[in-house]
Structure 1
């Protein structure tokens, strides 16, 4: 589900602001209904917070789900713009959300911002994608219920590739060469965001065989191969083949469907729009491997529903989350497949998602199964900022990758020491 507000401000590679002005971001609207929630048998009031999704019908769907719930009054707070800062403020306040969407980081657990939800999963836990449970678990407890899986890939114009005699790239050098070959006076070869490609910093690292963190929670983005992968991002930036200053950023497929670029990094969510505009004249591929020793990769992101530990009605909030994101398969299917394309976190729903079982959509599903990588909770916003600074300085300023890695490693190591002792 596209939109700068959610993709660049809150996705795991962009980070959630750790602190924000408590009242300025939230204003006076808590999103809670004015009546009920007290004693005497009246219904509990619950505030459910969403960022603003880009696809038509999403807000109406969220309102429909809330209205259909009869055991509490659920008010949907739909936030355009800087949802990350508003949420960071709200989670520090008793006037924040009861239920909210985000991505888990371990700091949310250690600072007691969210509650464990194992008890509402029950037998349904076995039906959730294991990666979706892993990315929402700390110390064996599950703190969030995944709502949608959103893999990101490169989209490419088949006709332009055929005209240039180019095949989908298998290595990063192939990608850079293709971008150069496809660039004309009217069409740029590739679009990876108006900032020049910060969004593909993670895939570039993974292409070398690296990781944000190792299995024992040490920095996994160090060494010569990681430095080489980051240097390739600058080479791409410096190739004169990047589209910059597009009317919409990478999460929106406008640049691709308008013919401004031959290749664009975007998400599965955009595929219905691309299909409508281009028919069969497009294909998809993962971020290519760095070299023969590397691996193709793609982020397997998405959004998760949480219950705030500051809620005055935690059990009621958990009951609503269970009703909507554990028990109500009809609404889960609607949310994943009728407003852009997303892979349902429930294995049973994913297996029967006919819209994802053919053509390019099926290819994305397969790429996600084979090469998708999820972020784990130990990769915190402070670490994300350090990593993004690394990639920004290398890509846009041509800074020495090894020196930038050293700076980021110091920050990440300090953060890990704080978290794990």
Structure 2
């Protein structure tokens, strides 16, 4: 924490008032110390510390508890810090300063350390470990009270709800997300309201059902300046009352999404055709897939496969990790392992990118009507980068290459 000094007691000027009588209880002693600081009476402050040194040391642990502290948290922290520092430097009494700066004794420091531990678990993709730490922090918070504790609970429960959702534990996430949304609404926190309405909307989509939060989210977005996203959400609710299909094509015009038959294309606009799924990819799966791509680009194919497997385990509905896993296996000339993965992709997202074409090639390899050299050349023609040839070494074009391209030409045109 920031070390307060007597030379900087001017920060308390706004609290100036007349001094009170000599303190009789620990609570009165704390108020007397605070009063001396806010009124700038350095001599009285030092006299109180010297005269009541033993009482301060004994009472300090109770003053640290947020429920016992005055409502002005910033002032409380400054009083504790200034008092502890004076006792340590002027009176040779280090115990209050030690309690104030070591996590096990200072709840604010302890809570901050706990949050950092949660984020460290997330960084190494240990979301389950992050959840355990968040739950432990809530238990710690339950033993305290006060405004500082309440703010910490809001942060922690919101974090816990999102972690649980991205672990696929939606039913466990909902109470925390709903509780945090209610707190944000009570405080008029527009940004927080938007975050947790979005989380609850996506939680419904995670379960493959129509979102019961979409219209409330749309209303909030429109009121806060995002009319385009609000219009998109209302369009989805209107068009798909029973829930969105697993996969469909949509159009993005200058960054705004439309259904195919609703887009108005005009000259000078930036237009993209996009895949639209009925749910988000969960965060751990996204990050494992990103790592897999990096390994694949670096020609570390076994490591890439391990990442794609981890991504698929993290999100049982994710087609992309399975698609890239199968694609890598095709590059390693393992069509027998790629084929069932392409079937999984089709089940999760029918028509995902070129999955049907690549499944057909895997099947033909197994039947003996297509060899691996042709597969790699097709990859170069389709992608332009030749990802697959690096997985097992480039060979010369095979005799049946022309026949293969002719046979697959219609499929390539149809998919993309």
**TM-score, normalisation: structure 1:** 0.23
Higher RCO (C-alpha 8 Å, min separation 6): 1
The structure with the greater share of residues assigned to strand is 1
> Computing the radius of gyration over CA atoms, which structure comes out larger, 1 or 2?
2
The structure with the greater share of residues assigned to helix is 2
